[in-house]
Amino acid sequence: MKKFALVVALAIFSQAFSYFLMHYYVQPGDTLFSISESLDVSISTILDWNNLRDPRKLRIGEEIVFPIPDGIIYTVKRGDTLESIAARFFTTVSLLKAANLLSSDLLYDGEKLFVPSEIMGMAFNDSAKFIWPVYGVITSKYGWRIHPITKRWSFHTGVDIAAPIGSPVFAADDGVVKFAGRNGGYGNMILIDHGKYQTVYGHLSRIDVFVGEYVKRGQLIGRVGSTGMSTGPHLHFEVRIYGRHTNPMAFLPSPRRMYVLKEEEKWMGGK
Ligand SMILES: [Zn+2]
């Protein structure tokens, strides 16, 4: 309770948005997990808002910023609409507008929208082994193809889903993070171990998990980017069985039904 009181005293109210920005200073014995528990903020949110040098070894006195309620910022890009942004967060336009106190549907390039964690993920299509980790357009399938950069005939080990930079990437299922960092052509990459299966997320602009972390199905794990060998912002998503790549489409719902809003969850009730 003492820690919480300290943070509240440092709270700054952000007038433009419907959240408070909190500043917390790491104390002896703190870990990301203990901070997440005592301040009731997710580890993904802490990692998304802060550029921590090593999430597993916090430095005493290190500043950590996070919003209340729990959530992240999305910067509007040319071509975005409230509908497309709501879809990328698997939420609804009305909840997105309410969270940002928006009275009209007009957006401008560079506008920063706040997306509370509580409204994310209510439209995941949960009908298959994995959920779609990103809402977007499939630009390259699994299998043989002419590589877009090398122009050589080569095997594409995953599926490419195009989405704007900064779009959220969600864990396809519960698992343990086995890799999180730079990995050659994959750029910033995450590998989650689900036991028999592993999933891989490549070309990220941001990584919001750390090695050894237990993640839940639908948890925010990072942001779409174009790092590594990439021709534009997209997620390279791979499914492996005991380490061997396989066709991800066999384990995902139809790409035409990435977004499925369950009517009874439209209200902003409990979790
Ligand atoms: Zn790819």
**Position 271 pLDDT exceeds 70:** no
- Taking the model in full, what pTM does it have? 0.91
Cα of 147 from ligand 1 centre, angstroms: 9
**Position 105 pLDDT exceeds 80:** yes
Q: What is the pLDDT of residue 175?
A: 98
Residue spans per domain, the chain? 2-68, 73-122, 137-257
The CATH-assigned architecture of domain 2-68 is: Roll (3.10)
Cα of 178 from ligand 1 centre, angstroms: 20
Domain 2-68 identical in fold to domain 73-122? yes
Cα of 208 from ligand 1 centre, angstroms: 20
Question: Which whole number is the average pLDDT over 147-172?
Answer: 94
Collect all residues with Cβ–Cβ distance below 8 Å to 55 and sequence separation of at least 6.
32, 43, 47, 210
Q: What is the pLDDT of residue 60?
A: 95
Cα of 176 from ligand 1 centre, angstroms: 22
**Position 268 pLDDT exceeds 70:** no
Evaluate whether the domain defined by 137-257 bears CATH number 2.70.70.10: yes
Cα of 201 from ligand 1 centre, angstroms: 9
